[in-house]
A and B are shown apart, each in its own frame.
Chain A
Amino acid sequence: MKVTVEWIKEFVNTEASADEIGDALTMLGIELEGIDDSPLGPVLDFKVTPNRGDCLSVIGLARELAAKNATRYRPTELFVRAAKGFLRGDETQALSSARVEIEADDLCLRFSARGWDGIRVVPSSSKLQARLSACGMRPINVIVDAANYVMLELGQPLHTFDFDLLREERIVVRRARTGETLTSLDDEERDLSTDMLMICDGVGPVAIAGVMGGANSEVSEGTTRILLESAHFDPRSIRATRKHLGMSTEASYRFERFVDPQGTLRATNRFAEILESESGVSPLQGVIDLHPRKREASSLTVRESRWNSLLGMQVPRAAAGAALVGLGFRVEETNEGLSAVTPSWRSDIHREEDLIEEIGRVWGYERVPEALPTGAAMGGETPESAFLTKCRNAMLRMGFTEVLNHTLCADSPLDIAAERVALRHPQSPELALLRSSLLPGVSMSMARNRGRDIQIFEIGRVFHGSWEFAMLGIGMSGRLLEEDWNQPQSPNADFYSAKGVVEKLMEMAERVGEFRETSDARFHPGRRGALFDGDEELAVFGAVLPEIANKLDLPKGSLLAEIDLHALFNAPKVERIYTPISQFPSVRRDFSISIAKSVSYIEIERAIRQAAGELADRVWPISSYEGKGIEPGHHGIAVALVLRDRERTLTDEEANDVCENAWKKLESLGATRR
């Protein structure tokens, strides 16, 4: 809401500067967003919270200032006249020339109107135009400008009809009927729905209540008779209508935020004053003022002990009372504190705590002291969230860099969940879906850093239907170690690097699982694997399918892994128990064999372990080789075995016996010595 300082000063006498006024209102909860210049001096731009429709007006802002400090901000004569309703003396007389009926009295609580004859639709005075322009409204003609002026000053939106265009010279306030349409002032033909409140004449709609007038009753150059509408409409109804129509106006903005039902007549009086001073034309005698449903003024009590205890500071009863009186409450003292009748322009006061807030903000929150809550309290986190932290630390310890990608994403060939969650009204295809996998994001981060050696991870939520859970996504490409001077080139990450990361993570997460084949189509069919706990897939990993890698512009040889951290959390936990360290030396034997590739490594390891029995300390592959000197379909593989006894030093003979036994078993697998 933009308002000139000079306008505020018409309502409160003050020496305060624009900055000071801005600060004072900011500290009352009406935040100053900026100060602009205008021919009329500084213009303050305030952000008014949606509970304070009454502050979308000059008088509302002035009232706040005076409530805060009536010595510094002294209400003027104009303020007092406004508070008394700008009475003209003819309010008890009926305006005879028009008839108004309210059919939808659930949506229109009050309808006031005045009429004019013999007006001339000319531009408004330069003073009026300057104020409206400074406050961000475009001057149009004296009628529209006067209505806007009153709206800015008092917060009551007004609408003027060309009375000669109102058929049957009457107004009916009712819901739209099926099939009705109306061309609004912006020349759009609007389809109306039957829950929308309309202002109609004797035949059909002439305005969308509280939102925008209709072109069919618009005040134009030739207009001589006007009818001024000043009403209170139900905030929710106005909001629903303007949302349905996809529009928002200054009027609807205010009606949505509650307009004072007791201020309708006052606004017509002020409009009459403005028009008199602008063009010398006075209104017809009498008013229309229908008030089918009256809002009860609520009276609340507020206890002194309660405000002191909730605010955490002592506010004297007299000061609390003065604050409420300044804000327009009718206040009486009670045994325990105060009772207060809420002013008609406030819709946000429902209970004791609401009054306490009023007392607190006027007295000033800067006076609230600091105190720490007493009593012991145990901080901590849930076991599952601690587990996520553990997995994150595991990835950091392995040297991976953490990335964060968006939850909202476009579709991706890496996102293959059956049940995707989509936004109802997406901004763009890039932000249409909720991710069901972290791999699209991780691969985007890889493409983003092409040309670098990449080892990255992300931990975040994914969405499968109504199921939301945490995943860990991992991406690797390029060298495992950075290039360095005088060092041999580091090897590139390969499939076994991806598997190694998963293995290490399992170790650090203290969980067990079983590696098995997978048919996950996102990966190279020959270079992929999965980790299972029973039937539950804990992880998939491997080299990205070349077509997908190309499409996503991934670096050459990109590897991805994805771990379901919720499933991993629930997977069997490793019990760590200390194993005594053997004091006796070990014996190592290497087996270099040539064997059909159809025999998997684990069969070879198992054969060697069986031969060694309890003496087997470690078995691992040293190298694997294909090519020259190896039969097609075979590969050369070397496996190391370390033997150790916990109780004694092994003899050569014992080691040789094991070897002989192992060779027999290897040969029975089809291995030949190399």
Chain B
Amino acid sequence: MESIDIVEKAACAAVASANTSAELREIEVRYLGRNGELTGLLRRVGALPNDQKPLFGKAVNEAKARVQTLIDERAVALSGAEQAARFETEKVDLTMPGRRFRAGLPHVLAQTIERVKSVMIGLGFQYVDGSELESLRYNFSALNYPPDHPAMDDQDTFYIDDERLLRTQCTAIQGRTFESREPPLRVFTIGRCFRNEAVDRTHGHTFMQVDAFMVDEGISMAHLRGTLGAFARAMFGPEMTVRFRPDYFPFVEPGVDFAITNPFKNRGAGDWMEIGGAGLVHPNILEAHGIDTERFSGFAFGLGIERICMTQYGIDDLRLFFDNDLRFLEQFPA
């Protein structure tokens, strides 16, 4: 029995002094393994008197259990410390840059287009595609332009021949829509328009335009203003308001241009952001398509995408949009 006590004490001391999990595992083998010192004591049972055999065996097993408990406790302590030390050595440098994942980069103008599109669809408008190569008829005549009128001078036109041109305004979708659909209508398109202008920082021969119109019973200038207000608030926030100013476009009567509260005033622009032209669809156009103007009226508006995008990001040169310098495009990861 004494010998059990001696071996157990030695084992406890060894466990207490073990500094690593590996040492502890060695100690475990040395004392508790199949040929371990404590386990080995059991072999002496045979030499003992019969009455002492159970007592001795029990004492050895109890000693083994106590040592095992100590080892387990020590193991937890040591592995915790060792793991902590290992974590310390595995520590990353948080200031190193992360791995570069390649994400597709939408063009900054297309980002504005997508936003406008979803807001317009949310307002109940149906998106249709128009043609960039249009006929004189849909671009001008069907829009109530008198033949060869000075109003066309505002829109220096790229002609292909006497009949075909590059559309100067997306409003060209109106005639086509009226020919194929009946009111009530809420329709819009977004696309490229073209004007034969000299190119500089603020003028291009190509630009993106949204054009929308709606025809229903009792549509008024108030509905136009309300729709533009809802559009502006969806795009730029709840404090947006709309300002009308009289203007002239042959396809609307009355005609206005409209500005919205400039949401980017801090970028040095003025109080108002003038973004488009609007008005009530000219009754001549409705009548030309057999629509009863006593029953139906409509509004139409068009606005420029570039203006919104440039004001929003403080971009000062229109030409950057079609230059496709990755250093420019990467500044707007969406």
Residue of B148, B153, B205, B254 contacting most chain A CB atoms (<10 Å)? B254
B263 at the interface (CB under 8 A from A): no
Please give the distance in Å from B310's CB to the nearest CB on chain A.
15
Please measure, in the bound complex, the distance between the C-alpha atom of A286 and the C-alpha atom of B153, giving whole angstroms: 40
Q: What string of 1s and 0s marks CB contacts (under 8 Å) between B310-334 and chain A?
A: 0000000000011111100110000
- Cβ–Cβ contact B104 & A29, under 8 A: no
Specify the chain A residue showing the minimal Cβ separation from B114: A389
Which residues from B are CB-within-8-Å of A421? 133, 160
Please measure, in the bound complex, the distance between the C-alpha atom of A378 and the C-alpha atom of B325, giving whole angstroms: 39
- Cβ–Cβ contact A236 & B96, under 8 A: no
B223 at the interface (CB under 8 A from A): yes
- Cβ–Cβ contact B297 & A310, under 8 A: yes
B12 at the interface (CB under 8 A from A): no
Please give the distance in Å from B287's CB to the nearest CB on chain A.
10
Which residues from B are CB-within-8-Å of A463? 132-133
Bin the interface of chain B by size.
Answer: 35 or more
B245 at the interface (CB under 8 A from A): yes
- Cβ–Cβ contact B131 & A468, under 8 A: yes
- Cβ–Cβ contact A404 & B107, under 8 A: yes
Which residues from B are CB-within-8-Å of A369? 222, 225-226
Please give the distance in Å from B243's CB to the nearest CB on chain A.
7
Bin the interface of chain A by size.
Answer: 35 or more
Given A49-B247, A370-B242, A404-B321, A379 and B186 contact (CB-CB distance below 8 Å): yes
Residue of A360, A371, A449, A466 contacting most chain B CB atoms (<10 Å)? A371
From B18-26, B41-49, B68-76, B121-129, the one touching the partner chain is B121-129
From A181-189, A395-403, A608-616, A638-646, the one touching the partner chain is A395-403
**Prevailing SS type, chain B contact patch:** mixed
Please give the distance in Å from B311's CB to the nearest CB on chain A.
19
- Cβ–Cβ contact B100 & A481, under 8 A: yes
Specify the chain B residue showing the minimal Cβ separation from A401: B105
Given A51-B248, A380-B121, A424 and B161 contact (CB-CB distance below 8 Å): yes
A178 at the interface (CB under 8 A from B): no
Partner of B221, one of A360, A427, A448: A360
Please measure, in the bound complex, the distance between the C-alpha atom of A235 and the C-alpha atom of B147, giving whole angstroms: 11
- Cβ–Cβ contact A50 & B103, under 8 A: no
The A-contacting residues of B in range 243-295, CB under 8 angstroms, are 243-248, 253-256, 280, 282-284
Which residues from A are CB-within-8-Å of B100? 481-482, 484
Please measure, in the bound complex, the distance between the C-alpha atom of A484 and the C-alpha atom of B282, giving whole angstroms: 60
Please measure, in the bound complex, the distance between the C-alpha atom of A382 and the C-alpha atom of B125, giving whole angstroms: 12
Please measure, in the bound complex, the distance between the C-alpha atom of A422 and the C-alpha atom of B166, giving whole angstroms: 11
- Cβ–Cβ contact B324 & A407, under 8 A: no
Partner of A407, one of B125, B196, B206, B224: B206
From A348-356, A624-632, A655-663, A666-674, the one touching the partner chain is A348-356
Specify the chain A residue showing the minimal Cβ separation from B280: A310
Specify the chain B residue showing the minimal Cβ separation from A434: B133
A405 at the interface (CB under 8 A from B): yes
A309 at the interface (CB under 8 A from B): yes
Please measure, in the bound complex, the distance between the C-alpha atom of A313 and the C-alpha atom of B254, giving whole angstroms: 14
- Cβ–Cβ contact B184 & A375, under 8 A: yes
Which residues from B are CB-within-8-Å of A487? 99
Partner of A50, one of B109, B154, B223, B225: B154
- Cβ–Cβ contact A403 & B254, under 8 A: no
From B2-10, B52-60, B82-90, B211-219, the one touching the partner chain is B211-219
B158 at the interface (CB under 8 A from A): yes
- Give the A-B contact count at a CB cut-off of 8 A: 234
Which residues from B are CB-within-8-Å of A240? 148
- Cβ–Cβ contact B254 & A49, under 8 A: no
Which residues from B are CB-within-8-Å of A577? none
Which residues from B are CB-within-8-Å of A260? none
The B-contacting residues of A in range 420-449, CB under 8 angstroms, are 421-425, 427, 431, 434, 444-445, 448-449
Partner of A370, one of B125, B222, B297: B222
Given A256-B150, A385-B127, A372 and B254 contact (CB-CB distance below 8 Å): no
Please measure, in the bound complex, the distance between the C-alpha atom of A628 and the C-alpha atom of B245, giving whole angstroms: 80
B15 at the interface (CB under 8 A from A): no
Specify the chain A residue showing the minimal Cβ separation from B279: A357
A578 at the interface (CB under 8 A from B): no
Please measure, in the bound complex, the distance between the C-alpha atom of A466 and the C-alpha atom of B120, giving whole angstroms: 30
- Cβ–Cβ contact A360 & B216, under 8 A: no
Q: What string of 1s and 0s marks CB contacts (under 8 Å) between B93-137 and chain A?
A: 000110110111111011000000100111111111101110000
- Cβ–Cβ contact A401 & B248, under 8 A: no
- Cβ–Cβ contact B125 & A379, under 8 A: yes
Please give the distance in Å from B144's CB to the nearest CB on chain A.
11
B141 at the interface (CB under 8 A from A): no
B77 at the interface (CB under 8 A from A): no
Which residues from B are CB-within-8-Å of A372? 223, 226-227, 230
Given A382-B129, A400-B104, A408-B194, A49 and B248 contact (CB-CB distance below 8 Å): yes
Which residues from A are CB-within-8-Å of B194? 407-408
- Cβ–Cβ contact B129 & A402, under 8 A: no
* A to B CB contacts below 8 Å, 17 in the list: A26-B245, A27-B246, A49-B247, A257-B150, A309-B220, A351-B283, A353-B253, A353-B254, A401-B105, A403-B329, A404-B110, A423-B160, A423-B166, A427-B196, A434-B133, A463-B132, A482-B100
What 9 pairs between A and B have smallest CB-CB spacing? A312-B222, A29-B246, A396-B104, A377-B124, A312-B220, A49-B248, A357-B254, A379-B121, A381-B127
A residues with a Cβ closer than 8 A to B are 26-29, 31, 49-52, 235-236, 239-240, 256-257, 309-313, 351, 353-354, 356-357, 360-361, 365-366, 368-373, 375-382, 384-385, 392, 395-408, 421-425, 427, 431, 434, 444-445, 448-449, 452, 454-456, 461, 463, 466, 468, 481-482, 484-485, 487
Q: With contacts A402-B104, A482-B102 known, what are 10 further pairs, Cβ within 8 A?
A: A28-B246, A31-B245, A51-B248, A312-B222, A357-B253, A365-B221, A370-B226, A403-B107, A423-B158, A423-B166
